[in-house]
Amino acid sequence: MRSHAISSALALVVGLFIVLSPMASTAGQINPTTALAAAQEDPAEDSEYAPPPPPAMVSVAASPFGTKLVDRPGRTLYVFSLDAPGISTCDRECAAVWVPLRSYGGKPQPGPGVTAPEVGNIQRPDGSEQVTYNGYPLYVYRDDSGPGQSNGHGRSEFGGRWSAQPPPAPPGSR
């Protein structure tokens, strides 16, 4: 009976040790499953580690109607006849068709055929920024399905005319 009592007491002590030992000190311990999952994460898939996009670039390119403005991927850029230097009048429904050009990667840059003073940005009525050429807001036409297309050039929509040709510098700006 005495050996049974000792065995029971020993089992109780061992059981308590097993139950309480994980609680005794978990600080500094690493869960192997969690550590492995963290090590296998691709930093490029996490927006925290993703590199910022490059800034918008405005260039001049040849076209059947003369020269036109294009962005970094070669999409045609447009100006609106109702806009003035520093002022965008295309918003809501208009901006859904004629999408304002943004530069999420920083200050817009001049590309081939364009100088730094010709490229800038303005603040739109909604508070966002829009890239400009000679002060005129620039847009991408929703129905241009890829680089090189100029389906919006010469269109009349939203009370004005759309052009892909570079606007002249405002008087006194140079």
Q: With respect to residue 26, please indicate whether it lies within any of the assigned structural domains.
A: no
Interval 122-158: pLDDT, tens: 999 889 999 999 999 999 999 999 999 999 999 999 9
Residue 89: exposed, middle, or buried by beta-carbon count in 10 A (0-12, 13-18, 19+)?
middle
Q: With respect to residue 31, please indicate whether it lies within any of the assigned structural domains.
A: no
Interval 39-95: pLDDT, tens: 344 444 556 778 888 999 999 999 999 999 999 999 999 999 999 999 999 999 999
Domain interval for residue 109: 57-163
Domains contained in the chain, number: 1
Q: With respect to residue 125, please indicate whether it lies within any of the assigned structural domains.
A: yes
Spatial distance between the Cα atoms of 76 and 137, rounded to a whole number of angstroms = 14
Average pLDDT of the residues in 7-25: 44
Q: With respect to residue 157, please indicate whether it lies within any of the assigned structural domains.
A: yes
Q: With respect to residue 72, please indicate whether it lies within any of the assigned structural domains.
A: yes
Interval 97-124: pLDDT, tens: 999 999 999 999 999 999 999 999 999 9
Q: With respect to residue 21, please indicate whether it lies within any of the assigned structural domains.
A: no
Indicate the range of 28-32, 55-59, 122-126, 162-166 predicted with least confidence.
28-32
Interval 40-55: pLDDT, tens: 444 445 567 788 889 9
Burial 124-138 (b: 16+ CB within 10 A, else e): beeeebbbbbbbbbb
- The more confidently predicted of residues 36 and 95 is 95
Please tell me whether the overall predicted TM-score, pTM, comes out greater than 0.85 for this model.
no
Kindly report the backbone phi and psi dihedral angles of residue 154, in degrees, each rounded to the nearest multiple of 5, phi listed first. 85, 0
Q: With respect to residue 118, please indicate whether it lies within any of the assigned structural domains.
A: yes
Note the pLDDT of residue 122: 96
Residues 6+ apart with CB under 8 A from 148: 74, 76
Q: With respect to residue 6, please indicate whether it lies within any of the assigned structural domains.
A: no
